[in-house]
Amino acid sequence: MKISKYNEMERKTIEADTGCILAVSGPDIYQSVRLQNLMIEKFGNKLKYDVSRLDGGDLKEGDLRRYILENSLFAPGKLLIISECHKMGKAAQSELMRSIDEGLNDCALFLVSLKTPRESALLRKLEKKMPLYICYEPFESEIPGWATRLASVENIKLNRETVQLLAQYSGRNLGRMSDAIVKLALYHGHGSTIDRSGLLEVLAGKDKPDIFHLGDMIFSDRRGKALEAAWSLLRYGEDPGGLTSYIFSQWQKVVQAMEIVESGGGKKEVANVTGARYPVLDKLMKYSRTAYRVDPAVAAEAFAEADRAIKTGVDQLVLTARLIFTLTSGHS
What is the model's pLDDT at position 206?
Answer: 60
| pLDDT-derived band at 277, boundaries 50, 70, 90 | confident
Q: What is the pLDDT of residue 105?
A: 87
* Rounded average pLDDT over 28-55: 94
Dihedral sign of CA atoms 163, 164, 170, 172 in order? positive
Other C-beta atoms within 10 Å of 191: how many? 9
Query: What was the pLDDT predicted at 11?
Result: 94
Percentage of the chain beyond pLDDT 90 is 52
User: Do 193 and 223 touch, CB atoms closer than 8 A?
Assistant: no
The two most distant CA atoms of the chain are separated, in Å, by: 73
Cβ neighbors of 120 (< 8 A, separation 6 or more) are 25, 86, 113
Are the beta carbons of 84 and 91 closer than 8 angstroms? no
Section 151-170 average pLDDT: 89
Question: pLDDT, tens digit, for every residue of 220-269?
Answer: 999 999 998 888 888 877 788 888 888 998 898 899 999 999 999 888 99
pLDDT at position 205, please?
A: 63
The mean pLDDT value for 121-130 works out to 93
Banded model confidence at residue 332, pLDDT cuts 50, 70, 90: low
Give the pLDDT of residue 237.
77
The confidence score (pLDDT) of residue 87 equals 95
Query: Regarding predicted confidence, which is higher, 68 or 275?
Result: 68
Which residues are 82's β-sheet partners?
Answer: 54, 111
pTM metric for this prediction: 0.74
The percent of residues in the chain predicted with pLDDT above 70, rounded, is 98
Per the prediction, the chain carries an average pLDDT of 89
Average pLDDT of the segment spanning 42-65: 93
pLDDT digits (tens, 9 = 90+) for 173-198: 898 899 889 989 988 988 999 998 88
> If you average pLDDT over each of 131-145, 158-172, 227-241, which comes out highest?
131-145
pLDDT of 70: 85
CA distances from 119 to 36, 93, 115, 116, 317 (A): 22, 16, 6, 5, 37
Q: What is the pLDDT of residue 89?
A: 94
How many other CB atoms are there within 10 angstroms of residue 48's CB atom?
12
pLDDT over 80 (residue 135): yes
Q: How far apart are CA 324 and CA 226, in angstroms?
A: 7
Query: Which of 147-156, 243-252, 299-308 tops mean pLDDT?
Result: 147-156
Q: How confident is the model at residue 157 (pLDDT cuts 50, 70, 90)?
A: very high
Predicted confidence at residue 197, as pLDDT, reads: 86
The identity of residue 34, as a single letter, is R
Contacts of residue 90, defined as CB under 8 A and 6 or more positions apart, other chains included, come to none
Sheet containing strand 132-134, edge to edge, reads 2-3, 132-134, 21-25, 107-112, 78-83, 50-55
pLDDT tens digit sequence for 82-109? 999 999 999 999 999 999 999 888 899 9
